[in-house]
């Protein structure tokens, strides 16, 4: 259980401090519209503990500061100031900082916080975000939770700071499910579903070595995932309830005549769109989770695969070979009015609609190279290539539509080494995610409640 409230509701003498000004009165803001971003400098102090507290509070405070610093730095939008440069030592976050000490080390923003453990062993974490130029408080919040939940609170603090300074929602309090790549005792490849926090912490396996699992996707609630398994001898879409551990095939493949692939949730969480094989070719179907009914949406002789809903659920993007080679198409959610939106050279695959609704991510193969790009959802404008490499596959959006995860393959003496990378919409801030061993097929959860 975790609660979050405005800091003012808990600090009786907050009125003596400068209140947070209206948005129009606070010029400090990260400009996220520029192609090459200029990170905002921010000082993040260790979250302090009350006088006389035991070392546990100080340890938690230091760890929270470390996680927040890492989150903001890896976003590419912030440049945390080295703590060795700090002049003022923050001991009480309810006193106004000496802003001149922070301006002289070029800190545009200052984040200070406090950790307290009460008699009921509840952890109370409060923080303030300051604009050092205007000497105004931009944000003050307090979280109440159990001490073992400190990492999630650190992510929530990061999200709050990110949103206040960029105007966009954050993406730090999220999970990533992916395929852990390995080799079994017999030398055969092993592909298991695994999950971790977005920064690589708290990794765990979701499936065992008994069967191969691929292509996971999250539900809007982040409580379920779909994935593809070969446990019944052919590719079959499965539903996995992360709370109960229950796994089941979405529907009887015999009803469609073959394999089923690439199931993705509708934004309402009650329906799925999936590519399934019927009469030797793949078409796109809508599956109702409550009624367990399957409705065919496409009937073209060519393969229609890899469907993805728009954020509002009114349209579906998919890839199809109906033009001779794989290209991207958008149709209404009922299967009507399919329109081609990609016209470049090469094979376009793995389309995924941005949570913002304006862009569609895709991968493309042309002249022996693989590319990750985005294209306007309505097909207007030119595509933008964000990464070009030896192998690229399975893009996945952050919940705020700012960052894209993807599978990257690099040539090695033993074949191809797979790993998960991220890149932002500017094509900069290319980073490898910390996974335990080789990894592929990432899926990013929504923000966790």
3-state secondary structure string across 133-200: CCCEEEEEEEEEECHHHHHHHHHHHHHHHHHHHHCCCCCCCCEEEEEEEEECCCCCEEEEEEEEECCC
The three-point CA angle 271-275-276 to 5° equals 110
| pLDDT given for residue 5 in this prediction | 54
| pLDDT given for residue 315 in this prediction | 98
| CA atoms of 309 and 316, how far apart (whole Å) | 4
What are the mean pLDDT values of the chain's consecutive 10-residue runs (449 residues total)? 50 34 56 71 94 82 98 97 98 96 98 93 96 98 96 98 97 98 86 96 93 95 94 86 93 66 94 88 94 94 96 98 94 97 96 97 96 94 93 98 97 93 94 95 95
The class level of CATH for 3-166 reads alpha beta
Contact 423, 372 (CB under 8 A): yes
DSSP-derived 3-state class of residue 44: strand
| pLDDT given for residue 25 in this prediction | 47
| pLDDT given for residue 201 in this prediction | 97
CA distances 69 to 76, 117, 161, 170, 278, Å, are 12, 23, 11, 14, 51
First CA to last CA across the chain, in angstroms? Answer: 10
pTM: predicted TM-score of the whole model, two decimal places: 0.91
Sorted by where each begins, the domain ranges of the chain are 3-166, 175-444
| pLDDT given for residue 14 in this prediction | 34
Assigned CATH topology for domain 175-444: Neuraminidase (2.120.10)
Q: Can 3-166 and 175-444 be said to share one CATH topology?
A: no
């Amino acid at each position: 259980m975790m609660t979050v409230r405005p800091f003012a509701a808990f600090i009786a003498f907050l009125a003596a401090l400068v209140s947070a000004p209206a948005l129009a009165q606070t010029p400090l803001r990260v400009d996220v519209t520029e192609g090459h971003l200029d990170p905002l400098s921010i000082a993040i102090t260790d979250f302090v503990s009350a006088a006389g507290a035991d070392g546990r509070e100080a340890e938690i405070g230091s760890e929270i500061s470390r996680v927040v610093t890492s989150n903001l730095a890896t976003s590419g939008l912030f440049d945390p100031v080295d703590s060795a440069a700090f002049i003022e030592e923050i001991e009480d976050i309810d006193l106004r900082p000496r802003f001149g000490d922070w301006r002289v080390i070029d800190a545009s923003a200052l984040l200070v916080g406090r950790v307290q453990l009460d008699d009921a062993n509840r952890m109370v974490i409060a923080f303030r975000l300051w604009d050092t130029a205007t000497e105004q408080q931009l944000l003050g919040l307090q979280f109440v939770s159990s001490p073992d939940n400190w990492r999630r609170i650190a992510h929530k603090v990061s999200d709050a700071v990110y949103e206040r300074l960029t105007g966009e929602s954050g993406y730090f309090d999220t999970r990533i499910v992916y395929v852990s790549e390995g080799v079994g005792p017999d030398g055969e490849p092993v592909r298991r579903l695994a999950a971790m926090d977005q920064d690589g912490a708290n990794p765990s396996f979701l499936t065992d070595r008994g069967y191969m699992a691929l292509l996971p996707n999250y539900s809007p609630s982040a409580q379920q995932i779909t994935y593809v398994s070969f446990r019944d001898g052919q590719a079959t879409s499965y539903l996995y309830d992360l709370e109960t551990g229950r796994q089941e095939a979405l529907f009887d493949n015999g009803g469609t005549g073959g394999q089923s692939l690439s199931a993705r949730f509708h934004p309402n969480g009650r329906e799925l769109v999936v590519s399934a094989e019927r009469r030797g070719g793949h078409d796109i179907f809508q599956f109702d989770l409550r009624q367990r009914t399957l409705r065919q949406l496409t009937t073209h002789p060519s393969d229609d695969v890899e469907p993805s809903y728009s954020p509002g659920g009114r349209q579906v993007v998919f890839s199809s070979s109906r033009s001779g080679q794989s290209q991207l198409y958008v149709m209404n959610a009922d299967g009507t009015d399919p329109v081609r939106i990609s016209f470049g050279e090469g094979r376009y695959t793995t389309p995924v609609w941005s949570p913002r609704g304006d862009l569609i991510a895709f991968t493309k193969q042309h002249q022996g190279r693989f590319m990750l790009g985005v294209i306007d959802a309505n097909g207007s404008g030119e595509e933008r290539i964000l990464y070009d490499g030896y192998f690229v596959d399975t893009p996945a959006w952050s919940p705020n539509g700012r960052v894209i995860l993807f599978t990257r393959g690099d040539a090695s003496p033993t074949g191809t080494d797979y790993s998960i990378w991220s890149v932002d919409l500017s094509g900069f801030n290319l980073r490898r995610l910390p996974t335990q061993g080789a990894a592929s097929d990432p899926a990013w959860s929504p923000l966790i409640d």
